[in-house]
Chain A
Amino acid sequence: MRILRLILARLVASAFTLVLVSVVVVVGVQGLPGDAAARILGREAPAAARARLREELNLDGPLVGRYLHWAGGAVRGDFGTSFASRLPVAGFLGPRLLHTLALSALALLFYVPLSILPALVQARRPDGPLDRAITVVTVLILSAPEFLSATLLLFAFAVIWPLFPPMVQLTAGMGWGAYLHMLLLPAATLGLLLATYGVRLLRESLIDIHRADFVRMAEFKGLSDRRVLWRHVLPNALIPWMNATALNIAFMIGGVVVVEKVFAFPGFGSALVDALQLRDLPVITAGVMVAAAIFILVNLLADIGALLASPRLRTLG
């Protein structure tokens, strides 16, 4: 029952963080000193237009009331009306978010083998030529800005060797095959960018665990190399890897903004960037909250996963 209590405590802490984020964001977006309406419309806008916008965006009145107004709508799924597109924010961001979730899911399919297989190869002969070569490649990818790596992949696979379209265009009636074709290159890019960090971490823990006593013991018992790897080394090395993966997914929420921009992918990230450029406050508030909520949720799941996976944490009070 101790584990249930631990999970419950994490749940409560996460919910608290989410509420705190919403306060920070709503107050930040609405409560900054200066006239938000003037920031949106420019200082030259007529006073009447500014007043109308202030009214529409609920910018007048005390901050506490405005926060409660926003939160009351948010829990009912009502994030207001987009100031630029005149659509309800939820109805506008929802479909974009679905595209991005599809992209991310596909990216994870690339991420898992791309982060596990090189690490297994490296850990077979630490400091051998293959290990070093893979290390150099991962360090290079890690050091390059995401927009550079993504542009390089776009250049390689959409310009030099035009397997994929250089710009992602999603239409309402397109079939699954065409949809997948559009998503494949950005998803592979995202998966590859995330995988490098996982590779480095998994290599370290594979090598560490291989040196651990219980693995030595298994080897002395005469178990085959393969059996030692699959039964003893890999399962233990995958626990920190899962944690890193959670961090990576959290990072992906930011990285997706860059990848979507490079491939002109009409997803959540590009919608948020557009809103930020237009100072579309209702969309900005909702978008930042969605990103933070996903981040918190992923971290929560990783924590719970670590609790369930680790016998030591399970019994620790």
Chain B
Amino acid sequence: MRLRLPHAALRWGLAILVLHALMAGFGPLVAPYGQAQMMAGMPIEGASLAHPFGTDQMGRDVFSRALAGGWIVISLSVAGTLAGVVLGAAVGLFAGTVGGWADEVLMRLSEAFLAIPFLIFALLIVSLAGPGLQGSPGLLVGVVAAVYLPRVARMSRAAALEVVARDHVLAARLRGEGAWTIARREVLPNAIGVLLVEFAVRAGYAPILVGTLGFLGFGLKPPTPEWGLMMAEYRNLLTTQPWAVFGPGLMLATLVIGLNLFTEGLSAMASRAGPGRGP
């Protein structure tokens, strides 16, 4: 879909993102209760002015917890996406520049990784990492990066192939420069626009990936107030106190909508396909 006014999408997206950034940055400071404070209210209270998302089984204020989760979700998503785009771009630009058998091997390998459905791939990494690493933020960043790496590699290889046909690359080759140097000095500056949009598109899905892993029990560990994990924790409150489930869900959904609108506007200007489903 292309909103007819890309700037409107960009503006709305930006507004939502700024709001989320403010909530993530200052929310915990102005939150009505401490995120781990028990008996902030009676256990399992419904939504009210005092507790916008109600309280949980231990009487913790769900809204204060959700506010505290913002910066966790955002920083994990940004770090994972950044790592995935940087590593993927390095692999893709190198493959596209060097060509030949190295390119062939890297692309076949990326095809094999892409044939494993991404969520299953992510769960597999967490499982194989073992109990020692499970639940650590570093592993989660690595998982997001690993899911994005082969995807970004293919995109940036395609971008590199367009650039390597140009004269200045030929000149660099004739000067006898190595593939890695050419990729960095000649190809990267010309592919940077593609990579930035790539980063924006991928960043839009990263919070969902982080949340899904949390929801399935493969992400951060309780009592971290990560939104997907909170939704799983409060699942059995669905009939009595649904706000505990849908409050954190609302935070996650609005963050993703903001990211997607922003990217929609950005990609409409850069005339690349906007965000679809999946990473």
Contact = CB atoms under 8 A, between A and B. Distances in A.
A39 B134 CA distance: 11
A135 interface: yes
B111 A20 contact: yes
Contacts of A164: none
A296 B116 CA distance: 9
A298 B216 CA distance: 26
Interface string B175-218: 00000000000000000000000000000000110011001111
Interface in A277-296: 277, 279, 284, 287-288, 291-292, 295-296
Nearest to A35: B130
A147 B115 contact: no
B117 interface: yes
A253 interface: yes
Contacts of B108: 16-17, 20
Interface in B212-248: 212, 215-218, 228, 231, 235, 238-239, 242, 245-246
Nearest to A294: B117
B112 interface: yes
The binding surface of chain A is classed by DSSP as helix
B212 A146 contact: yes
Contacts of B278: 251
B172 interface: no
Contacts of B126: 276
A222 interface: no
A208 B128 CA distance: 47
| 3 tightest Cβ-Cβ pairs between the two chains A and B | A254-B119, A254-B117, A39-B130
A254 B238 CA distance: 24
21 contacts: A20-B108, A20-B111, A23-B112, A24-B109, A25-B124, A29-B128, A39-B128, A39-B130, A42-B131, A140-B253, A142-B275, A145-B215, A151-B235, A200-B1, A253-B117, A257-B123, A276-B127, A277-B217, A284-B124, A295-B116, A296-B115
For chain B, which range describes its interface: under 10, 10 to 19, 20 to 34, or 35 or more residues?
Answer: 35 or more
A148 B228 CA distance: 9
Contacts of B231: 147-148, 151
Contact of A138 (B1, B128, B216): B1
Interface residues of A, number: 57
A197 B211 CA distance: 21
B52 interface: no
A276 B126 CA distance: 8
Contacts of A29: 128
A302 interface: no
Given A29-B128, A151-B231, A276-B124, A254 B252 contact: no
B256 A24 contact: no
B257 A151 contact: no
Interface in B99-129: 108-109, 111-113, 115-120, 123-124, 126-128
A200 B215 CA distance: 28
Nearest to B119: A254
Contacts of B4: 127
